[in-house]
Amino acid sequence: MVQILNKIDDVLHCPRCDLKLSRTNVVVGSGPINAKIMLIGEAPGKNEDKQGQPFVGAAGRNLNELLEEAGIDRKDVYITNIVKCRPPENRPPFDYEVEACHPYLQKQIEVIGPKGIVLLGKTAAETMLGRKVEMGKEHGTVVEKDGHRYLITYHPAAMIYKRTLKDTLVEDYKKISALLAE
């Protein structure tokens, strides 16, 4: 994947936005290049920045737990984020950072051609759907846009602060299999 993205730029040395100043590693994504399901989060956190891999910290452990409960093997899905570099103090990425990074994500979607895309949290959902998303009302729904099918759900980090959300998230994640079945 890095080689493919390097065709549009040298992603590992990307200078396109100021997140280049605070990153340790560019976190491109992980998973098979022919994955049927793609998961998109917000941005790398501290552990992801250190290791250069997405979802390897506390949110990653929640993600693993949710995927397992939904009967999905993490090895079968491609996981990435809206921006590939960690924002300072884990703040949400600014609009111009999202915009600067978007060509990489578009290329990933084009190359992988997933059957369904799972939007993990508000930043991912609002960026990909191009509108405001009310997570409390819209989580668990499938939306079609520009030839892609998106499942909206909470970011797995939400479970760190509110463990009671787990059952809700498990129900959402079970719909990932439905995305594949159709």
Which residues would be at the binding site for ligand SF4 (CB under 6 A)?
11, 14, 16-17, 19-20, 26, 83-85, 97, 100-101
- Cβ closer to ligand SF4: 28 or 118? 28
Minimum Å gap between C-beta 50 and ligand SF4 is 15
Minimum Å gap between C-beta 160 and ligand SF4 is 23
Minimum Å gap between C-beta 74 and ligand SF4 is 23
Minimum Å gap between C-beta 83 and ligand SF4 is 4
- Cβ closer to ligand SF4: 17 or 176? 17
- Cβ closer to ligand SF4: 26 or 109? 26
DSSP string, the chain: -HHHHHTTS-GGG--SSGGGGT-SS----BS-TT-SEEEEES---HHHHHHT-SS-SHHHHHHHHHHHHTT--GGGEEEEESSSSPPGGGPPPPHHHHHHHHHHHHHHHHHH--SEEEEESHHHHHHHHTS---HHHHTT-EEEETTEEEEEE--TTHHHH-GGGHHHHHHHHHHHHHHHH-
- Cβ closer to ligand SF4: 40 or 66? 40
